[in-house]
Amino acid sequence: MDSTILLVVAGVVGLIIGFAIAKMMEKGKAAKTISGAKKEASDIVKEAKKEGENIKKDKIFQAKEKFLELKAEHEKVIINKDKKIAEAEKRTRDKESQISNELTKNKKLNDKLETRIKEVSYKSEILEKKQSEVEKLHKSQVQQLEVISGLSAEDAKSQLLESLKETAKTDAMAYLQSTLEEAKLTAQQEARKIVINTIQRIGTEEAVENCVSVFNLESDDVKGRIIGREGRNIRAIEAATGVEIIVDDTPEAIILSCFDSVRREVARLSLHRLVTDGRIHPARIEEIVKKTEKQINEEIAEIGKRTVIDLGIHGLHPELIKAVGRMKYRSSYGQNLLQHSREVAKLCGVMAAELGLNPKIAKRAGLLHDIGKVPNTEVEVETPHAILGMQWAQKYGEKKEVCNAIGAHHDEIEMTTLISPIVQVCDAISGARPGARRQVLDSYIQRLKDLEDIAFGFNGVQKAYAIQAGRELRVIVESEKVSDDKAAELSFEISQKIQTDMTYPGQVKVTVIRETRSVNVAK
């Protein structure tokens, strides 16, 4: 027991002694480390000072080199400036010497000029003296002649002029008479020859257009779908296109009736799309009609481009090209207006070439002579088509010859160029072909247009369509501007206006349609 305690005490004492020894050794190592770090720090400071001195010396050396370079460049600049100044001084000295030489030459020339002036003045004095002597001699000779002839100089001059005038007038009248006789003998033959040759070289087909198109159907079942429930589809088509749709007992066909060929074509293409698609209802009808109208407008522009390319006409304004395309859907006394204008253009080109004139300008005037028959707005209808066409041509930069030919082909204005009578003659040739025109159709179409124009003259009218061969006028009004009571009053006013301003067979029924729509979209 005692030995165990002694051993434990001895172990504890040993541990204490070992810990003390370890602490003393650790302090010694720390002192050595600190002294080493101080020495290393002093070495680094010395090295940094040494390196700083070296950098300082390098910078001073570089600064000296830069100063020397700048000094050398400055000296070069000064040398160049001195050289330029020397050259400028040399040029100045040369100019001064040149000016002095010029002054010397000018002095010599002035001396010569003064000498010449003196000589010329001396000679002019001599000439004046001689001229006065010649005038005296001439007067004395004239006086002697007057005494001998018994006439004064003025009387003799007047008698001579009278005799010369009479002789010249007689010769001129004889020449003019012979020329006129010869022209009368040959002009009629030559004119007939030119016109006959021109007509023989231009051959076109003639066809009289009507106001009705037939739309063929695959089966009679489609008729019911086109009519719709209680006729709503057919009413929507008629309201959107302005074309009267006649559904009768004709098998597998319906009839589209309208005096405007563009409306009939829009209605025909729209019906074709609707029947092909199978979805026929008012909303779809309006969508298809709008797309078809856009397609027709693009087709009109394309037709105009093809026409001017075929005729070799260049530089035509895009609006005039569209007007040419719209001619396809217009008629002149039953004759297709585009076909008529193409024919007139070709006739004008041939006839102008025969007469030695410019055939390109003649073709241009012949093609555009009837563009006034396809007005953009209803208010332009009242202007004569020749004047309206001339105004358009002037607006879109056509030449004076073309504008005058368009405006004068029906003698509304005076003809000022040779192209104008050619266009007038060719227009008459084209219209005089057998079966080319029909007066009744044109007057009928004009009556329908007049009906629609009367309706457009009232406020609030959005669309107006003459249907049933002019026996009915359907007027669509804006619901915001025209109330129900106002619609009845408007119908009466339009009927009274038609009764007082127009002459027509039978009676005309005026129907005013006012429609209110409320549209919402479910998303």
**Tell me, what's the pLDDT at 197?**
57
- Quick: pLDDT tens for 168-201: 766 776 676 667 666 666 666 666 566 555 555 5
Q: What is the pLDDT of residue 487?
A: 87
Predicted confidence at residue 160, as pLDDT, reads 66
DSSP-derived secondary structure for 309-353: HHTT--S--HHHHHHHHHGGG-EETTEEHHHHHHHHHHHHHHHHH
What pLDDT is stored for residue 67 in this prediction?
Answer: 86
Q: How far is CA 76 from CA 80, 81, 391, 515, in A?
A: 6, 9, 77, 95
Q: Can you tell me which residue has the tokens 């005309």?
A: 508
**pLDDT confidence band for 225 (50 / 70 / 90):** confident
Above 50 in pLDDT, residue 205? Answer: no
Q: What is the pTM of this model?
A: 0.46
Least confident range of 34-38, 74-78, 113-117: 34-38
Q: What number is the average pLDDT over the span 491-512? A: 84
Q: What is the pLDDT of residue 505?
A: 62
User: What integer pLDDT is reported at residue 209 of this predicted model?
Assistant: 47
Range of lowest pLDDT (43-52, 149-158, 469-478, 508-517): 149-158
Share of the chain above pLDDT 90, in %: 2
Whole-angstrom distance, CA of residue 284 vs CA of residue 239: 13
Task: Please report which confidence band the pLDDT of residue 162 belongs to, taking 50, 70 and 90 as the band edges.
Answer: confident
Q: What is the predicted pLDDT for the residue at 339?
A: 86
Q: In the predicted model, what is the mean pLDDT of residues 37-60?
A: 83
Q: What distance in Å separates the CA atoms of residue 488 and residue 480, rounded to the nearest whole number? A: 15
Nearest to 303 by CA among 326, 330, 320, 336: 326
Mean per-residue pLDDT over the chain, rounded = 80
| CB distance 340 to 430 below 8 Å | yes
pLDDT at 436: 53
**Mean pLDDT lowest among 188-202, 375-389, 498-512:** 188-202
Residue 368 contacts by C-beta under 8 Å, 6 or more apart in sequence?
320, 323, 324, 341, 389, 393, 398, 402, 406
Task: Say how far apart CA 336 and CA 327 lie, in whole Å.
Answer: 8
pLDDT band with cut points at 50, 70 and 90 for residue 208: very low
pLDDT digits (tens, 9 = 90+) for 467-483: 876 778 899 998 888 88
* Across 121-135, 193-207, 230-244, 326-340, least confident range: 193-207
Query: Can you give the pLDDT at residue 207?
Result: 42
pLDDT of the residue at 232: 82
pLDDT given for residue 243 in this prediction? 83
Mean pLDDT across 226-230: 78
pLDDT tens column, 114-157: 888 888 888 888 888 888 888 888 777 767 776 776 666 677 67
Instruction: Give the per-residue pLDDT at 353.
Output: 86
Per-residue pLDDT reduced to its tens digit, 403-432: 998 888 888 888 888 888 888 888 888 776
Structure tokens at 326: 């719209």
Is the pLDDT score of 246 beyond 50?
Answer: yes
Return the structure tokens found at 144. Answer: 């002697």
Q: Mean pLDDT over residues 367-393, rounded?
A: 78
- For 254-270, write each residue's pLDDT tens digit: 888 777 777 888 888 88
Helix (H, G, I), strand (E, B) or coil at 212: strand
Question: In this predicted structure, which of 9-23, 63-77, 215-229, 300-314 has the lowest mean pLDDT?
Answer: 215-229
Q: What average pLDDT does range 89-112 have in this prediction?
A: 87
Span of 103-112, 197-206, 372-381, 509-518 with lowest mean pLDDT: 197-206
More confident residue, 379 or 118: 118
The token pair that represents 84 in the structure block: 């330029």
Rounded CA-CA distance 369/401 in Å is 12
